[in-house]
Amino acid sequence: MCPSSAPGIAAAIISFTEEILTEDPEDVTDTLKQLRATALDQARSAHPAPRARTTAM
């Protein structure tokens, strides 16, 4: 990350957080759950679990 881009990234995070935290608490919970699910899906896609090994009989 370029040091000159840090202020812009920080401002975007602060703006996003302000918008989320000023909404209805139930909406915030739903939004955070959706973000978590999306992040988990992306992580699983990037790093799939090893498949179970089977032995030939």
29 vs 35, higher pLDDT: 35
State the pLDDT at residue 53: 58
Residue 52 pLDDT greater than 80, yes or no? no
Instruction: Please name which of 49, 44, 37, 43 lies closest in space to residue 29, comparing C-alpha atoms.
Output: 37
1-27: per-residue pLDDT in tens? 556 788 888 888 888 887 777 767 677
Query: What's CA 1's distance to the chain center, in Å?
Result: 19
State the pLDDT at residue 56: 57
CB neighbours of 1 closer than 8 A, spacing ≥ 6?
Answer: 9
State the pLDDT at residue 15: 85
First to last CA, the chain: 52
